[in-house]
Amino acid sequence: MKKILFYFVAFMIMASPVFSANISIPVNEVPANAASDFRNAVKEFKALPKKERKARIKEAKKQIKEIKKQKKAGEPVTDKTLLIILAILLPPLAVYLHEGVINSKFWIDLLLTLLFYIPGMIYALIVVTKND
């Protein structure tokens, strides 16, 4: 659900005339050097000795476990600045991403945003910036 909301927000921002003039690369195209960089990285990884490859994979798995521990412990994984920007642009989305679930705070913010945008934005900023 978070990915769908993220892609929707990204699409809406890219589709708006204010931001579309600043974009030099179309959204659906990948830069030509990105594919070659990826291929080079894969070749480099495959050229490593088997022991080194296993060590790198093991290190990546450790990092993934650490991120999962942080998420379970309730530590914020998202950037506070991004949430503040989202609270200004799309207040209910910011509240949802901050809380992680659709709860009463989300519904209150959605209602405030639908009735009057400014109170919804202010409520979202309060929810996102408050210290838990």
| Residue-wise pLDDT tens digits, 58-113 | 888 888 888 788 777 765 556 788 889 999 999 999 999 888 888 999 999 999 99
Using the 8-state DSSP alphabet, how is residue 28 labeled? T
What is the pTM (predicted TM-score) of this model? 0.44
Between the alpha carbon of residue 65 and those of residues 4, 13, 117, 120, 128, the distances in Å are 24, 33, 40, 36, 26
Residue 121 pLDDT > 90: yes
Average pLDDT, the chain: 78
Residue 90 corresponds to which amino acid? L
Residue in this structure with the two tokens 């990884």, named with its chain if needed:
45
Angle between helices 117-129 and 80-89 (to 10 degrees): 170
Using the 8-state DSSP alphabet, how is residue 111 labeled? H
The predicted pLDDT at position 46 comes to 85
User: So where are the chain's domains?
Assistant: 39-73, 78-132
The predicted pLDDT at position 36 comes to 80
Residue 20 pLDDT > 50: no
The predicted pLDDT at position 101 comes to 86
Q: What is the distance, to the nearest Å, from the Cα of residue 60 to the centroid of all Cα atoms in its chain?
A: 20
Q: Take residue 26 and report the two structure tokens written for it.
A: 């179309």
Burial of residue 108, with CB atoms counted within 10 A of its CB: 0-12 exposed, 13-18 middle, 19 or more buried: middle
Phi, psi of 76 (to 5 degrees): -65, 130
